[in-house]
Structure 1
Amino acid sequence: MPSDTKARIQAVARELFAEQGVQNTSLRQISDRLGITKPALYYHFASRDDLVRSIVQPMVQDVERFVGTRQPGDARELLDDYFDLIWRHREVIVMVVRELSTLGVLDLGTRMFEWRRQVITLLLGPELTQAQHIRATVALGGMSDCAVEYAHLPLEDVKPTAVEAAAAALGL
């Protein structure tokens, strides 16, 4: 569990990264907003990249656990749980979408495509037609887009419609 100061630094960094992008946010801006010295910030994070990694890592771990421990089963339940997962990490997804250079952190771009392939296999099995694969890409991509586009709304206003639309795209 991160220390209180570390968690506060991450929270302020997420805000600033969302407002102005990762590359346009300096560690000085983060320390100034927190009212701490830059050396105090460096005590917790060696660099901006280290800070970005610390913000992205929990999402990586959650998604890896999701795709690594799920068994094929009820597709609607899987869609429902997948939406909860992406909703929980929507701030990080917004940060990545806003500044695609963030994809370089932890080789995120490659991992995200692999995660999607694994979720599609869990949903529909390993042997898919091209049409099934395209529908699954639309379904999962659409749910991710909803988590980003409607991040400001309550979960209960977004999730039922997003999951239902994903299920419809899959023909469920």
Structure 2
Amino acid sequence: MPSDTKERIQAVARELFMRQGVQNTSLRQISDRLGITKPALYYHFSSREDLVRSIVQPMVEDVERFVATRGQGEAGKLLEDYFDLVWQHREVIVMVMQDMSTLAYLDLGQRMFDWRRRLITLLLGPELTQAQHIRATVALGGMSDCTVEYAHLPPEEVKPAAVEAAAAALGLQTAM
């Protein structure tokens, strides 16, 4: 079944990209690991960039939907939901962090900054001091880092501490 092969290619590519970096992983390595020919891989993905984009795109769509559909309100709930979102996509975040050039050729760098600015506005409002921006950057970045650094732990062990620390950085109280 083609979609099964496509998913297997993405799974092996994700693993190799996370371990070796995108630029250090060839399509030949991926096809050899799967026991398929390189032309069979090209049937599903026209290039390494196409393959990387197919792995990263679900995260991009989820984050864009997240920031587009949220309104200002309960900051604690927003932090909890944001943690769940980044936890869900932690392998992709690791993959991107392992090879920062992925940000450039997928044009993700600016989009990620835009997402963060939108989240900060949702959390604290539009009129912020520089110190509030800095604290919010630490809060959101720290939560993302926790999903990568502590990915080997169950999320129910990581989430309460990460959300509490983010809320503290923002000067908020949480129910967790």
- Deviation of 1:130 after TM superposition, in Å, equals 1.1
TM-score (norm 2): 0.95
| SS, match of residue 46 in structure 1 | coil
Off by >6 Å, runs of 4+ in structure 1: none
> 1:81 corresponds to which residue?
81
- Deviation of 1:132 after TM superposition, in Å, equals 1.0
Superposed CA offset, 1:17-74 (max 9, x none): 1111111111111011111111110000000010001011000000000001111110
Structure 1 contact 136–169 (Cα < 8 Å) conserved: yes
Structure 1 contact 53–105 (Cα < 8 Å) conserved: no
CA RMSD of aligned residues (A): 0.9
- Deviation of 1:131 after TM superposition, in Å, equals 1.3
| SS, match of residue 23 in structure 1 | coil
TM-score (norm 1): 0.97
- Deviation of 1:106 after TM superposition, in Å, equals 2.8
- Deviation of 1:108 after TM superposition, in Å, equals 0.4
> 2:14 corresponds to which residue?
14
| SS, match of residue 73 in structure 1 | coil
Q: Give percent identity, aligned residues only.
A: 83
**Distance (whole Å) between structure 1 residues aligned to residue 162 and residue 105 of structure 2:** 28
> 2:46 corresponds to which residue?
46
**Distance (whole Å) between structure 2 residues aligned to residue 54 and residue 67 of structure 1:** 21
**Distance (whole Å) between structure 1 residues aligned to residue 128 and residue 135 of structure 2:** 11
| SS, match of residue 40 in structure 2 | helix
| Aligned amino acid, residue 80 of structure 1 | E
**Distance (whole Å) between structure 2 residues aligned to residue 90 and residue 166 of structure 1:** 18
Structure 1 stretches of 5 or more lacking a match? none
> 1:136 corresponds to which residue?
136
Superposed CA offset, 1:107-134 (max 9, x none): 1000000000000000011000111111
Q: Which moved more, 1:147-156 or 1:6-15?
A: 147-156
- Deviation of 1:105 after TM superposition, in Å, equals 3.4
